[in-house]
Amino acid sequence: MEHRSRIATLVSPPALFLIVLFLLPIGFMALFSFRVGTFGETRNMFTLDHYRDFFANAPLLRLLWRSLLISFWVSIYSVVLAYPIAYYLVFQGGDRKLLLLTIIIVPAWVSYLLRVLAWKVILGSTGILASFIAWIGLDPRESAFLLYSSDAVTVTLVYVWIPFVALPIFAALERIDPHLLEAAADLGCTKFEAFLRVTLPLSLPGVVAGFLFVFIPTVGEYVTPALVGGTEGVMFGNLIQDQFLRGLNWPVGSLMSLAMLAIVLVPLVVFARFFKISDIAGV
Amino acid sequence: MRLKKMFSPGAIYYWLLAVFLYLPIFLLIIFSFNDSALLRFPLQGFTLQWYRDLRNASELLEAAGNSIVVGVFSSLAATVLGTMAAIAIVRFNFPGRNLFVAVSALPLVIPAVVIGVALLILFRQVFDWDLSLWTVGLGHMVVNIPIVTLIVGARLAGFPDNLEDAAMDLGASYWGAQLRVVLPMSASALLAAFLTAFTTSFDEYAMSVFVVGTESTLPVYMYSLLRFPRRLPLVVAMGGLIMAVSVIVIMFAEWLRTSGERK
């Protein structure tokens, strides 16, 4: 009985807060996606038209697909670039591996907006890279392709997210029992075979976690595309922002936001089903 | 042998990637001392002008002040609520515990734009509130509570609950034991959680922009400045300051978080 009142006292304030300011708003957002209009009379009329329009809108779906592809490739590049770092630190880092890991992670602590701004300044047509190339006597037009393209978005996002991917892969590699690798060597595996058949499979939870660490936030990304993407680099998040801050079509924006939520939740649920949460949390 | 180790392929790759990660940040800092309104090569000479100009940029300072207020209050409130959740999750088993754990971690893995949009609908259309620093603070709490729960929960899981049992055997009430034994023992984790939440709040743009009123927070104001190329050096100088402060604060928080765990 005493137990119960303690639990109730501890749980109810945070639970109440998260219900009212997190679950409830998402519920209202879902409800809103059926509304006819944003303001006035149309607020209380409901329709399925937005859903029909959404699935019939081929350019919109193409853009959604393209921006998912950007997120996908950003996540793949980040994992591929971060894996050797984590591998090097765990197996060859020696005593200094935590220090070396920290060196990689510190840039992630610098304001996100500023790191994106840095790339905008670097890639700009009169920016640091172009002016540097001109300064050393080459033709800067060769480099101007970078700003205001989906490539610029990809480069910037990979830059932003590499440190976050290194962390879970590092943690997964650290947990591998070195005896397993010795056993593999005793049984005649070459180093490369041992990597493919022992190390890589065992580090998979870290790889998948790292992938999701990048994929989920970049699916919702709209700041980086707005700063370095131009018209070609527009992502789905930019459309959502437009509906709310400019277009003022909140029902359509709600529907798009709901679609994004669904896209993010699917891989999360699959991940939670196949891996233990402790595999990601344990650093 | 040492030389061989330093020039192993792994080491070379590591340092190349480190350069890739640091170079943009250093470039931004170098250009904040460059004597030109245009951010381009060649460098024009050293100046402190942009940093001096910061003192007169009253709107920028006001926005920074707003961000500090929002950050302090949303992180304090989140530290209280998040710690309660952490104690409940680590120390008790109760019906719906798994659901509670899932819901209290979810805001960390949902894109900020979704949370921002949902809160905008709640505040404007359901509650009919005017947007203000209050609504920004409430929004930041949604993300800050899970951060605190994660950090404090990890610490609580690290030491056994028989110490609070001992305190209670010696006559302390349950809440007395929490306040005088459990919280002091996890004090460094609480501070680390608060500081991490604060820096998250101080840097938050993607959700804030939906729920901000006429009074800006710093990231929202800085973003609006980016439309004016002439003011870019000012933003860069401000950025240089923020970078320095936030890296120091987070290193301190990290040290607090890990030093307690090693004991």
CATH number of A58-281: 1.10.3720.10
Hey, is the C-beta of A130 within 8 angstroms of any chain B C-beta? yes
Find residues 133-192 of chain B whose CB sits inside 8 Å of chain A.
138-139, 141-142, 145, 149-150, 154, 174
CATH number of B57-262: 1.10.3720.10
Q: Out of A13, A103, A119, name the one closest to residue B24 (CB).
A: A119
The answer to whether the CB of A251 falls within 8 A of the CB of A36 is yes
What is the rounded CA–CA span in Å between residue B204 and residue B218? 9
What pLDDT, on a 0 to 100 scale, did the predictor assign at position A214? 93
Query: Which 3 state secondary structure label does DSSP give B214?
Result: coil
Q: Which residue has the tokens 């090097």?
A: A88
What is the rounded CA–CA span in Å between residue A24 and residue A22? 6
Q: How confident is the model at residue A74 (pLDDT cuts 50, 70, 90)?
A: very high
The answer to whether the CB of B221 falls within 8 A of the CB of B60 is yes
What pLDDT, on a 0 to 100 scale, did the predictor assign at position A126? 67
Average pLDDT of A29-57?
Answer: 85
Average pLDDT of A116-143?
Answer: 74
Contact B118 A25 (CB under 8 A): yes
In chain A, residues with a C-beta closer than 8 Å to the C-beta of B14 are 85, 88-89, 100
The answer to whether the CB of B132 falls within 8 A of the CB of B215 is yes
What pLDDT, on a 0 to 100 scale, did the predictor assign at position A145? 56
What pLDDT, on a 0 to 100 scale, did the predictor assign at position B163? 82
Hey, is the C-beta of B7 within 8 angstroms of any chain A C-beta? no
HEC profile of B99-110: HHHHHHHHHHCC
CA distance B141 to chain A (A): 9
Hey, is the C-beta of A127 within 8 angstroms of any chain B C-beta? yes
Q: Out of A11, A217, A254, name the one closest to residue B117 (CB).
A: A254
- Using only C-alpha atoms, chain A has a radius of gyration, in whole angstroms, of 23
HEC profile of chain A: CHHHHHHHHHHHHHHHHHHHHHHHHHHHHHHHCCECCCCHHHHHCECCHHHHHHHHCHHHHHHHHHHHHHHHHHHHHHHHHHHHHHHHHHHHCHHHHHHHHHHHHHHHHCCHHHHHHHHHHHHCCCCHHHHHHHHCCCCHHHHCCCCCCHHHHHHHHHHHHHHHHHHHHHHHHHCCCHHHHHHHHHCCCCHHHHHHHHHHHHCHHHHHHHHHHHHHHHHCCCHHHHHHHCCCCCCHHHHHHHHHHCCCCHHHHHHHHHHHHHHHHHHHHHHHHHCCHHHHHCC
What pLDDT, on a 0 to 100 scale, did the predictor assign at position A283? 33
Average pLDDT of A142-148?
Answer: 63
More confident residue, A232 or A265: A265
In chain A, residues with a C-beta closer than 8 Å to the C-beta of B13 are 84-85, 88
What is the rounded CA–CA span in Å between residue A163 and residue A213? 10
Q: Which residue does chain A place closest to B200, by CA atoms? A: A111
In order along its 263 residues, chain B shows pLDDT tens digits of 455 666 788 899 999 999 999 998 888 888 888 887 777 777 778 888 888 888 888 888 899 999 999 999 999 999 999 999 999 999 999 998 989 998 998 999 899 999 999 999 999 989 999 999 999 999 999 999 999 999 999 889 888 878 888 888 888 888 988 888 888 888 889 999 999 999 899 999 999 999 999 999 999 999 998 878 778 888 888 888 887 887 888 888 888 887 766 54
What pLDDT, on a 0 to 100 scale, did the predictor assign at position A198? 87
Contact B24 A122 (CB under 8 A): yes
CA distance A187 to chain B (A): 26
Hey, is the C-beta of B11 within 8 angstroms of any chain A C-beta? yes
What pLDDT, on a 0 to 100 scale, did the predictor assign at position B164? 84
Average pLDDT of A40-65?
Answer: 86
Average pLDDT of A120-124?
Answer: 80
Find residues 197-216 of chain A whose CB sits inside 8 Å of chain B.
212, 216
Hey, is the C-beta of B27 within 8 angstroms of any chain A C-beta? yes
The answer to whether the CB of A156 falls within 8 A of the CB of A264 is no
Q: Which residue has the tokens 């009919």?
A: B128
Hey, is the C-beta of B260 within 8 angstroms of any chain A C-beta? no
The answer, yes or no, to whether ipTM is higher than 0.90 is no
What pLDDT, on a 0 to 100 scale, did the predictor assign at position B159? 80
Query: What's chain A's average pLDDT?
Result: 86
Which amino acid makes up residue B227?
R
Contact B121 A28 (CB under 8 A): yes
Domain boundaries, chain A: 58-281
What pLDDT, on a 0 to 100 scale, did the predictor assign at position A102? 86
Give the tens place of pLDDT for each residue, A194-244.
Answer: 888 889 999 998 999 899 989 988 999 999 999 888 888 899 999 999 999
Residue B5 burial (C-beta neighbours within 10 Å; 0-12, 13-18, 19+): exposed
Give the tens place of pLDDT for each residue, A272-282.
Answer: 777 765 544 43
**Mutation for testing the B interface, residue in A5, A10, A116 having most B CBs under 10 Å:** A10
In chain B, residues with a C-beta closer than 8 Å to the C-beta of A128 are 27, 31, 39-41
What is the rounded CA–CA span in Å between residue A136 and residue A204? 44
Contact A104 B17 (CB under 8 A): yes
* This prediction's pTM: 0.89
Average pLDDT of A124-152?
Answer: 72
**What percent helix, strand, coil does chain B show, rounded to 5?**
80, 0, 20
What pLDDT, on a 0 to 100 scale, did the predictor assign at position B256? 83
Contact A7 B94 (CB under 8 A): yes
Domain boundaries, chain B: 57-262
Contact B117 A257 (CB under 8 A): yes
Count of A-B CB contacts under 8 Å: 224
